[in-house]
Structure 1
Amino acid sequence: MTLQKEVLATQAVDLFRNGLYCSEAILQVFNKELGLGLNDTAIKMATGFGAGLGASKCCCGSLTGAVMVLSAVKGRTSTEGNVDEVFSLTQELHNEFKKRYKATCCRVLTRSVKWGEPEHHQLFEQYVRGAVEILTDILERESKPAPVKSNG
């Protein structure tokens, strides 16, 4: 799988600029790009994650949107499915986001700006772009076949 990281990031930022929440923008872009086949009801599930979980300013919507994409690609549909891979990739996504931005909590990430002001939107665009970049790196790496080990 070859994903154009900058194109996807720009598309997600554009959707955010046009009024979608971070979580909605990321899920919509990857639903289209990866052909996930998520219907409108599935897409609407991202809305409650906006503004840090229903405007509580907790977990960043960019991060939760990216986790929803990872889960759509690697998640399970029954108790017989394995969660190890999606949990590991989600932890990687979380840890890389936290390493890059020093937090995953919307309230902490935005404490230096007034909510709704232009600076707030510019800051959020950075988080949308970063989450898309991290997610794209993970998805591209995970789509490559494992190297064949030689016996000699």
Structure 2
Amino acid sequence: MSKADDAHRLFLKRFTCSASVFSAFSGELGLDPDTAKKIACGFGAGISKTGNICGVVSGAIMVIGLKYGKCVEGDDAATGKTRALTQAFIAEFTKKNGSINCTELLGYNLSNPEEYAQARDEEIFVTKCPAMVRDAADILETILKTGE
């Protein structure tokens, strides 16, 4: 089963988009998937329905940081690599989906209760979000392979 399949399966079980992506990769990077779900939970729905960065993008950036991020003083190369891979992920995700902003991607401002209800009623979270979960995981797998 691919990471995209794992992330998609988790999203369909009603974990946030960010938690689905982050936890699908976390185990092999030394972080318990349940802990990863907790860490990433608040990033879903454009950072807790604030209309900001899409949760799948946040989840992917957390994976990149977990794998390559700076944890030793003076290791500025790790910061540089993390930033470069994050930029590559964002460029590819934007190329495929048109934006990394949740409101722009979904066409609804989730911070507005009426728009959130409309998005839910129109099944946006069922029709659009699962594909973006897959896209993020697929792009992330490629980015992680090129980063090695």
Q: With structure 2 as the length reference, what TM-score do the two structures score? A: 0.83
1:19 to 14, 22, 29: 14
1:73 is matched with: 67
What secondary structure, in the 3-state scheme, does the structure 1 residue paired with 2:99 have? coil
In structure 2, C-alpha distance between the alignment counterparts of 1:67 and 1:102, rounded to whole Å: 18
1:115 to 119, 136, 140: 119
Unaligned runs of 5+ in 2: 109-114
What secondary structure, in the 3-state scheme, does the structure 1 residue paired with 2:120 have? coil
* Structure-to-structure mapping, 1:25-104, within 5 angstroms: 25-32=20-27, 34-38=28-32, 40-82=34-76, 83-104=79-100
Unaligned runs of 5+ in 1: 144-152
Structure of greater Rg: 1
From the two aligned structures, give the one with the greater helix fraction: 2
In structure 1, C-alpha distance between the alignment counterparts of 2:43 and 2:124, rounded to whole Å: 21
Task: List structure 1 segments (4+ residues) > 3 angstroms apart after TM superposition.
Answer: 38-43
Contact 1:22–1:50, Cα closer than 8 Å, also in 2: yes
Quick one: percent identity of the two aligned structures? 28
In structure 2, C-alpha distance between the alignment counterparts of 1:49 and 1:55, rounded to whole Å: 9
In structure 2, C-alpha distance between the alignment counterparts of 1:108 and 1:130, rounded to whole Å: 16
In structure 2, C-alpha distance between the alignment counterparts of 1:135 and 1:127, rounded to whole Å: 12
Cα 1:18–1:93 shift into 2, 3 Å: same
Following superposition, the deviation at residue 120 of structure 1 comes to 2.9
Q: With structure 1 as the length reference, what TM-score do the two structures score? A: 0.81
| Number of equivalenced pairs | 137
